[in-house]
Structure 1
Amino acid sequence: MAPMAPHFADIVEATPTRETLRADSAVIHAALDRGDRARALADWDGMRRRYETWSALVYLRFAQNTQNPKAKADRDYADALSPEAADLDIALKRRLLADPDQAGLAGLVGRHALRLWETDVTTFDPAIKPDLEEESRLSARYTELLAGAKLAIRGQTVNLPGIEPFAEDPDRATRHDAETIRWSFFDQNGPELDDLYDRLVKRRHGMARKLGYDTYTPLGYRRMRRVDYGPEDVARYRQQVVQHVVPLVGRLLEARRAAHGWDKLRFWDEALIDPAGNPKPVGDHDMLVAAAEDMFAALDPRLAAFYRMMRAGGFLDLKNRAGKAGGGFCTSFPTLGVPFIFANFNGTHHDIGVFTHEMGHAFQNWESRHQPGIDYLWPTMEAAEIHSMGLEFLTYPAIDRLVGADAAERFRRMHLIGALAFLPYGVCVDHFQHEVYAVPDATPAERHAIWQRLERIYMPWLDYGDLAYPAKGGRWQAKQHIYNSPFYYIDYTLAQCCALQFWVRARRDGAAALEAYVGLCGRGGSAPFQDLVRSAGLVSPFADGALADVVKEAEAVLAA
């Protein structure tokens, strides 16, 4: 029987104010004053769950329609309230961390929660409240700008997600036209995009200085709650990608060029992975949503029951439409323990990738809903991305339900090649941010030059042809994480290393791989990244050879 859950349309959470937040905090402090720590912790957990449920609803509704005046006003209000909530939250963490009985506190909330709080208290001071509000405002403007794109192609007007089917069309001229139109939008909006990012970088650097850091980078890592690795570990991982993955991707791209008979492989050719044309979903949105139920039923009854609940409860918003924010994400409502998936289906294989990816996040959040405190409902993001990317691979045995039996093997091959090709780009995005925040006063032109130089290291095959804007170093401006979630993007590549290990294991024993995956989902965020990785029998991406082994397997499968 499917788990029972409310319908999304019925979820309501009262709008907090500065006064209600302060009153709730006062009640918690009063409980601590009288020595009732257990009561204080329970009340605080409830307060945080209510606030995060309300916040998730606000930001989701803005993403669903960035042009809606009420949704925009509600997001502005949430952006303004967020620093106040952070101030009260940090004050409670500081008080709890000052309690002499840390062993007793760890017994109540877990030692890992204390490590997270110790990190959190170094990321905030009331002095940066205005900076946090302005950072949110600038991020919202970037999202709104890209969501408002109107691109004319082949007699149609589409948004940025809507250009994707044309960008991987089997016809080379169509792909070239799609990329020309896409990058013309960024060229036209380049001055504002440069200005937004310049202001974000300087604002973040200013916050770091106020908090006692030399640059934003250590603050950025702490905001991501990374407690068991640092920039040096990430730099070594990037080098592993250069050593093991870049040569393989280069060989795969050269094979593609030769198979098509092109004199050169241009940027607009990279999206066409399958010589016969990238496999597409079996049908439109409605057909794909229905077919997914069969896929999950064939894989595992737990996944099937969870998906039926999501579908019946209205916790899916997958259709692309005008004014909707781009991309895909999973959010959740911790008062209920039910997640929500947001995406933009456009009729390409990306629909399947995004859908299975976000379902992985959602399933993890559902499986870990019984963790004892809100800090453990989600892991830090590099661990969270293992669940999403891992499910992409673990659905391989039943992927025929989404692409058809004739295209299933072609889809698996295409997805594997895409997963490998993503790694050099992903670490390039990360390296770029490390360099940007090391020199916050760089000019926009200097930032574009940094990107150009790093592209030559991580993606030496790139040939933009006559696409002037990305050729001059502007490609990074299409990646929303660079603007809105600094230092997040490496998490996808770290998780991809782990997801590929699940793929290797599933090739030997699919049932055992799935059980290890479900167990990892249930542990939520109860441990740091590398501990969670080891708990699933995986090798940390920072270990020597972690990528070499999966690349060897991929070379054998792809005959590369």
Structure 2
Amino acid sequence: MKPMPEIENSLLQDAPIAWGNYQSRYQHLIDGVVNPEDITQFLLDWSDLETELDQVQAVRTLRAHLDTRDEAAQTAYREFMTDIHPERERVNGALKQKLLSLDLSHLPADAVRLVRRFQADARLFREENIKVQMQLSELEQEYTQINAALKVDFRGEKLGLPQLAPFLLSPDRQDREEAWKASRQTFREAAPVLDDLFLRMLKLRRLLACNAGYASFRDYMWDKYHRFDYNPQDCLNFHQTIETEVVPFALELLEQHRERLGLEVLRPWDAYWYDRVDPPDCAPLQPFKTAAELVARSAEVFSRLNPRLAEMFQLFRDHKAMDLEVRENKLSQAYCTSLPVSKLPFVFQQVVGTAGDVSVFLHESGHAFHDFLSMHSQRFYWNHMSSSEFIEVPSTAMELITLDALDPFFDPQEMERVKGAAIWQMVHNLPHCCFLDAFQHWVYSEAPEDVTIEMLDQKALELLQRFRPVPAWDGFEADRKKLWHFFHVFYVPFYYIEYAFCGLGALQLWKNQQQDPEKTLQQYLEALEAGNSLSVPELYEKCGLNFKFDRQTVHDLMDFVRSQG
């Protein structure tokens, strides 16, 4: 492999490695005798290996996403996924089988949950699926390259999708309409390629499930995501609850929005589903100009919220554990990942100065705090972060519990606008989550073997009518039916209902903060430190919340949200 090009950020320096660097160490664990009293040390030694390889994978993924046209970075990532990852999967499968065959009488308490997860992993593992997973990884990399290359022809310039956001949210309706139509043209041109890519992914995902003896890819992913505390029917029931309790509230907000804008009907460019656009008499919000300003002002926000949060965030700044600038060929998706050897998180985003950038950065910072605290509190690699049904609580809650501390970004009147937009986003995101989750339930458990793109599009339209019936897409039906072309559907299949569960958890935390802010922040930090050592209900309880999403619970939370408007 060619030498890695140097980059400025020391956290992301990479060097050539080969499986031979690790094989003997893994083999020693596989071959060694493990007495009951040796279990903890066996897990720690294995954990150290996983930590080292996970750091390499995270660095190479970040470098590949920072510039999808950097051939050296793409090659390094591809070689890890084709040369090292398959071997790692094999030895981990063997080690999990070994652990599960041992006398576990001396198993430490913080390993009990991970053993249950390993049992699910053992049910999943099949040697023939390693090749299938490699093929899927290649398709996922193809998706990131397509995503990062998307450019919108707008007023004589070619803009990346993040750069278009200020126009999509402009108080000037003509700006919005022009930007929206330009973006749709870009998505329309990419649609056939993405359609073909998804069908190839679907075939491979179904093969994974079949090889492992599961009735459907949905059942396979239930074990893959370690969903021990609820079942598929619970999700379907939850969809119905959101349709009953939240969609009418979302439609109320949309009607108020229509009246506020003075329009007869809302069009797609008037009601961006995630962000509420402002009427013409409101100047655009400009909370910051540069990434450096965003970071500095966020530091002030965390200082006002909690000294421990401020201390951690300063550490992230000192180590440059973030990349926020807009760059050519950089993946447009925002996320936070772990660098477990460095014991630091890393936030990846492109910011252009919008209020939405602020909320996304606060969200990803919530992940960063979770990542940092769990890595420093949990000794086993597998207990870093948490189950996916809690993992979005720290991040989503951060968007809400900072609402009264945003004066470094906004004046009091602007803060009211931002709070209203946050409520808008929370209410509208719940049906959106159910739309994407219901779509994937159908695709992976009900759709016929020979499902076509036309069937996928039609199912998307049916579900949008249930969960997102407004605004009016007349004349743009061909664009609407492609709203299932979403990052998670391609890159993280079946991961989305978690945002809804965690959104409701975040609302509970926001409500608790208003009653006792000091206790709420303390519970928040303690829950983050627990990482993945507890069950989902236990994590919610430790955070002062309930993992309970029946109709009455959702109804009561919507009443609380109404009281904040």
TM-score range with shorter-chain normalisation?
Answer: over 0.9
Match of 2:4 in 1: none
Distance 1:10 1:480, change over 3 A: closer
Alpha carbons 1:202, 1:441 under 8 Å: kept? no
Which deviates more, 139-148 or 81-90? 81-90
The question of 1:449 aligning with 2:449 is answered: no
2:298 corresponds to: 292
Please name the residue that 1:476 is paired with: 484
Alignment-mate amino acid for residue 394 of structure 1: I
Query: 1:161-176 residue pairs with structure 2 within 5 A?
Result: 161-176=162-177
Alignment partners' CA distance in 1, 2:188 and 2:289: 34
How far apart are the structure 2 equivalents of 1:27 and 1:97? 17
Match of 1:462 in 2: 471
Matching residue of 2:97: 94
What's the counterpart of residue 552 of structure 1?
Answer: 559
1:465-508, CA deviations, whole angstroms, 9 ceiling, x for partnerless residues? Answer: 3335323x11121x110001011111111100100111111222
Task: State how many pairs are aligned.
Answer: 548
Q: Structure 1: which amino acid aligns with 2:336?
A: C
Question: Does the aligned pair in 1 maintain the 2:152–2:182 contact within 8 Å?
Answer: yes
Of all paired residues, the percent bearing the same amino acid is 27
Alpha-carbon distance between aligned partners in 2 of 1:354 and 1:460, rounded to the nearest angstrom:
26
Aligned to 2:540: 533
Contact preservation (8 Å) 1:116, 1:227: no
Deviations 1:104-135 (A, max 9, x none): 22x26521111111111122211111110110
The answer on whether the counterparts of 1:146 and 1:326 sit within 8 Å (CA) in structure 2 is: yes
**What is the DSSP-based 3-state SS (H/G/I as helix, E as strand, rest coil) of the residue aligned with 1:110?**
helix
- Once residues 34 and 524 of structure 2 are traced to their aligned partners in structure 1, the CA distance between those partners, rounded to angstroms, is 43
CA contact (8 A) 1:87 1:125 kept: no
Q: Which residue matches 1:345? A: 351
- Distance change in 2, residues 1:157/1:114 (3 Å): same
- Code of the residue aligned with 1:476 in structure 2: it is W
Counterpart contact for 1:341–1:362, Cα < 8 Å: yes
For the 8 Å contact 1:180–1:467, the answer to whether it is kept is no
Quick one: structure 1 residues 469 and 71, their matched pair in 2 at CA, closer, same or farther if it must change by over 3 Å?
farther
- In the alignment, is the contact (CA less than 8 A) between 2:14 and 2:60 conserved in 1? no
Answering whether residue 90 of structure 2 is matched by residue 83 of structure 1, we say no
Residue in 2 that maps onto 1:392: 399
2:230 alignment partner, SS class: coil
Is the CA contact 2:167–2:179 (under 8 Å) kept in the aligned structure 1?
A: yes
> What is the aligned partner in structure 1 of residue 3 from structure 2?
none
Residues in 2 aligned to 1:177 and 1:556: alpha-carbon distance in whole angstroms: 36
Aligned to 1:115: 116
- Equivalent position of 2:531 in the other structure: 524
Specify the alignment match of 2:73 in structure 1: 71
Q: SS of the residue aligned with 2:246?
A: helix
Q: Which amino acid in the other structure matches residue 460 of structure 2?
A: W
Relative to structure 1, the CA distance from residue 77 to residue 38 in structure 2 (aligned partners, 3 Å threshold; closer, same or farther) is same
Map 1:116-515; keep pairs closer than 5 Å.
116-271=117-272, 272-275=276-279, 276=282, 279-369=285-375, 370-438=377-445, 439=447, 440-471=449-480, 473-477=481-485, 479-515=486-522
TM-score (norm 1): 0.94
Gaps of 5+ in 1: 1-6
Query: Could you say which residue in structure 2 is the equivalent of 1:49?
Result: 51
1:249 and 1:10 map into 2 onto residues whose CA distance is 43
Partner of 1:4 in structure 2? none
Shift of 1:280: 3.6
Distance 2:115 2:350 in 1: 38
Matched residue SS, 1:465: coil
Distance change >3 Å, CA 510–CA 552, structure 1 → 2? same
RMSD over equivalenced CA pairs, Å: 1.8
Change (3 A) 1:11 1:182: closer
Contact kept in structure 2, 1:293 and 1:308, CA below 8 Å: yes
User: Any unmatched runs of 5+ in structure 2?
Assistant: 1-7
Quote the offset at 1:11 in angstroms. 5.9
What's the CA shift string for 1:482-537, capped at 9, x where partnerless? 00101111111110010011111122222222122111111111112222112222
